[in-house]
A and B are shown apart, each in its own frame.
Chain A
Amino acid sequence: MTRPQTKTLASAALFAAGAVFLAWSAYIPIKAAVAQVLLEQAWQRTLTGDQTAKPWPWADTWPVARIAVPRLNRSAIVLHGASGQAMAFGPGHMTATPAIGAPGTAVIAAHRDTHFRFVKDLALGDTIEVATADGDVRDFVVSATKIVHAESSGLNPTLAGATGTTLALVTCYPFDAIAHGPLRYVVFADLVPEEKLLPS
């Protein structure tokens, strides 16, 4: 094989590889977005009583809650379990933590470049609306944010904020990093007690 031929092949290979990577890169957000559409349908079934409504037949996870931030006009269906597979499709509720809306701190994790892109824009006092499978819709208010190390987060799910029921939204930090890192950004939101919602 002569040199020009080698070079032609090499440049073709580079083009092809580039195309694959670009497609792959595009596939991640597309998958994340498409999954949310399917999850939205599964969620409707969940609300009608199917506790583990699978979004597609071979799924190993199912919707457990729906979170929405009215100010940022964002919402997402939260999945059971925060394994890598589940988090490709939606925010995952870590099974090692209390159920969402139960006493203690329920941890929901998602990728900062897909479903939790909005997390960096959350500000203290923002309201997060949380709908759970039992049909309840409760408000949580952002009470704190913190940057922690993933392996030593110090986060104890049995503890909670002032109202006893806290939600922690976890995503990667820094927000604009290219590669994975050890730091996590945690947004704490405390349950708004029902009484406060009543007109006084």
Chain B
Amino acid sequence: MFQFDYADADYMRSVWLERISSALQLLTALTITLATLSFSHYASAQTTNATTEAGPRLTLTKMSDVGSGGLLLKSQYDGYFLEAPALATDVDISVNGLIARTKITQRFENPSQAWVEGVYVFPLPDNSAVDTLRMQIGDRFIEGQIKERQEARRVYEAARDAGQRASLIEQGRPNMFTNSVANIGPGETVIVQIEYQEMIRYDGAQFHLRFPMVVGPRFIPPVDAQLVSYGTAENTQIVYRDPVPDADRITPPVLHPTQGQQNPIDLTVYLNAGIPIEQIRSAHHDIKVKREDENGAKISFVHQDEVANRDFELVWQTKSGNKPLTALFKETRDGKTYIAGFVVPPKDSAAEARQSRETIFVIDNSGSMGGASILQAKESLLYALTTLVEGDRFNVIRFDDTTDSVFRTPQLVSGQSIAVAKRYIENLEAEGGTMMLPALQSALNDTSVEIDDEERLRQVVFLTDGAIGNEAQLFEEIDRSLGRSRLFTVGIGSAPNSYFMSRAARLGRGTFTHIGSERQVKERMAALLSKLSAPVMTGVSVSTRDAAAAEIWPNPLPDLYAGEPIVFTAMVAEEAPRFTIRGQTLKGAWSTRLSVKDAETASGVARIWARNKIASLEEWRFQGANLTTIDTQVLAVALEHDLVTRLTSLVAVDHDVARPAQTRLETQDVPLNLPEGWDFDKVFGEQVPTRRASYQSPEAKVMLASLDTSSTSATGAIGDDTQGLALPQGSTDRWLLLIIGLACMIGGLVMSVLQWREISAASRRELI
């Protein structure tokens, strides 16, 4: 209509009207876009909004948004989740005679869109000497350095915060380590290699190699309070002791069985026994054995889809039969000669008279024993009862977060007392927490004095999976209360805490055994019960002519039970010393001589010696030795031999900066499988009085408050860590929405007004 009107101001007005109206349309489009954007922003990233210009937005997921696939873990943002780092492990074990060297390759893959620090808690044999760390990035290798623990952590954290790739191996327990791998980019893989050596265990004419694959969830006893008096009533204070100060570091998240299983593992053993092998067996895995020659074999898994959820146990027998076995290995390192000696004393043929006993059986029926473990433990215990004879005394103690026993005091064996105990054992159910200390105390409490019946051997047989975090507290108790009792530990289930089993048995002057399946119950219990009679050799010592010329570990050497060898390591100054080995058997004194001249050269002996020394020194800690002296000595040995210990860690740092500045690093635990045969609900049902609960208990409050003396500034919570807690979004979109809404309404209003004027102008023209 008005297009044909060229002449007057009306034309100009119509041009303007058109411009304004298209501008308004543009505004509408813009507003809707903005609104959509702001809405999606609000919905999907309300807490992650504060992305700086420099970094890409972190992709986080809400639990309700999960479709399938990846495993999600809590991120540092409340209510948001991040895909967990994935891990695959490859294990190569080379056995040469009695020494095994193991190379573990851990591949950390980050499936998420964020930069991640992966933290993986993994087990190793409790006598393993970790000496090598290597990080692979692309085709480059970065060798790890041994450093004092704090220094290693500083180096690692500095590299981590600077965006460099780094890996840190720390010891949580002698059989539990943590690998922290910093700055794994979105979709990237970082490979870390760890190597260690250990000595093969020989027992009952069999060689045992054990490779643990998963750390079973540990029970953390709550902080306990004690009244301590400094003379007067006013000076009496409540002192709080946390039995597991490092609980946060040893309790990684565990996958619920419905989440599937992670951490695939492949394992190969290159076995060279040094002597002809008769038989090779694996207790808990299907294996392929490829015999290379009569001394050697290559062992691998039959199934390609094994996951890290139970101990691998390889047992082999040699054709040497009952002949006494002696072996000496040596290694020269930095001008020093190290010896590993191994002697199986001749069997005592004299049939010993059976001494009457008082045997206290302790069975762990806490939640972690749920499933297969409690069945194995019950069966082991029922079998043990059948081996008791009339005249023996016995009792059965059970514990979870409570302790209880069949009889108030040990009873004489009779048809009736055995029947009562059997019924008691059969009715046990695995549930609740693992408060081991009271059970241990009552088992070690020797009541025979009261009834004047001290002639018997007193033995405590302790069946547990050792899924506790307060090892140190228990070791102290064993050392303090052992008396004339002897402690025999039986590690039950697919992933027992072998460190607890072996050290508790050593401090308890007994021995330990593992039962990982029902098939093993009879064989292993029979072997253990035959050992129970008495040590076959006590007062074992190894000496050289010149006592100062050799440093021999372990110190003291343990008593020997039937089927066990004497194993020692020494650092010697002389070129070719002779060792004299002495011991007391039931028949009298026994001794033998060994000459270093006959020693075979073997690599790894030096580090095994160092590890033995450290283990002995650490053991002295529980026996009240001076802690500072021990620390100094442990540190010196560890640094000299590059070993990861309580005081030293291995750290590897790449010089390249990988993560862009201003990009956040998310710390994520690698989730662990539940050990095979465990019952998730039973285990985590037991976690009632754990860390989080005790965190809020008044005791913990006092304790934690006292730890925080360093931060007394007004903004005490601002630490040195520049990253800190990620804070959530602190505003809504209401004002933005209000402005958009008002803009729209004003726009609509302006448009209608203009339109109205236009229409009235047109109608005016028509009238003219």
Binding site for B on A (CB under 8 A): 4, 7-8, 10-15, 17-26, 28-29, 81-88, 92, 94-99, 102-105, 107, 109-114, 116, 143-144, 146, 148-166, 168, 170-173, 177-186, 188, 190
Q: Which residues of B contact A92 (CB under 8 A)?
A: 78, 728
7 smallest CB-CB distances across A and B, nearest first, come from A83-B79, A164-B705, A21-B741, A18-B744, A172-B730, A84-B46, A18-B745
Q: With A and B bound together, what is the CA distance between A164 and B698 in angstroms?
A: 13
B40 interface hit (Cβ, 8 Å)? no
B453 interface hit (Cβ, 8 Å)? no
Q: Is the CB of B704 within 8 A of A103?
A: yes
B719 interface hit (Cβ, 8 Å)? yes
Q: Which of B39-91 contact A (CB under 8 A)?
A: 41-43, 46-47, 49-52, 62, 74, 76, 78-80
Q: Which residues of A contact B24 (CB under 8 A)?
A: 10-11, 14
Binds A, one of B267-275, B431-439, B676-684, B709-717: B709-717
Residue in B78, B732, B752 whose CB lies within 8 Å of A113? B732
Q: Is the CB of A22 within 8 A of B738?
A: yes
Q: Is the CB of A105 within 8 A of B717?
A: yes
Residue in B62, B664, B704, B713 whose CB lies within 8 Å of A104? B704
Q: Is the CB of B736 within 8 A of A159?
A: no
Tell me the nearest residue of chain A to B41, going by C-beta.
A180
A-contact 0/1 string along B717-745, CB 8 Å cutoff: 11101111111111111111111111111
Tell me the nearest residue of chain B to A104, going by C-beta.
B704
Q: Is the CB of A81 within 8 A of B734?
A: no
Q: Is the CB of B723 within 8 A of A152?
A: yes
Minimum distance in angstroms from B718 CB to a CB of chain A: 5
Q: Is the CB of B738 within 8 A of A21?
A: yes
Q: With A and B bound together, what is the CA distance between A61 and B758 in angstroms?
A: 56
Supposing A24-B741, A85-B79, A170-B730 touch, asked if A165 and B51 sit within 8 A by C-beta, the answer is: no
Minimum distance in angstroms from B33 CB to a CB of chain A: 12
B261 interface hit (Cβ, 8 Å)? no
Main secondary structure of the interface of A (DSSP, over half): mixed
Supposing A10-B751, A11-B751, A164-B708 touch, asked if A180 and B78 sit within 8 A by C-beta, the answer is: no
Q: Is the CB of B79 within 8 A of A86?
A: yes
Q: Is the CB of A150 within 8 A of B78?
A: no
Instruction: List 13 A-B pairs, Cβ < 8 Å.
Output: A7-B755, A10-B25, A11-B747, A18-B741, A18-B746, A86-B79, A96-B74, A96-B76, A102-B704, A113-B735, A160-B705, A164-B701, A168-B717
Q: With A and B bound together, what is the CA distance between A104 and B700 in angstroms?
A: 11
Supposing A102-B701, A160-B717 touch, asked if A152 and B722 sit within 8 A by C-beta, the answer is: yes
Q: Which residues of A contact B733 (CB under 8 A)?
A: 25, 28, 180
Q: Is the CB of A107 within 8 A of B739?
A: no
Q: With A and B bound together, what is the CA distance between A177 and B35 in angstroms?
A: 17
Q: Is the CB of A21 within 8 A of B732?
A: no
Supposing A166-B717, A178-B736 touch, asked if A184 and B49 sit within 8 A by C-beta, the answer is: no
Q: Which residues of B contact A88 (CB under 8 A)?
A: 732
Q: Which residues of B contact A158 (CB under 8 A)?
A: 704, 708
Q: Is the CB of B745 within 8 A of A177?
A: no
Q: Which residues of A contact B729 (CB under 8 A)?
A: 84, 87, 111, 150, 172, 180
Q: Is the CB of A83 within 8 A of B47?
A: yes
B696 interface hit (Cβ, 8 Å)? yes
Q: With A and B bound together, what is the CA distance between A91 and B729 in angstroms?
A: 11
Q: Is the CB of A102 within 8 A of B25?
A: no
Q: Which residues of B contact A168 (CB under 8 A)?
A: 717
Q: Which residues of B contact A22 (CB under 8 A)?
A: 737-738, 741-742, 745
Q: With A and B bound together, what is the CA distance between A183 and B382 in angstroms?
A: 66
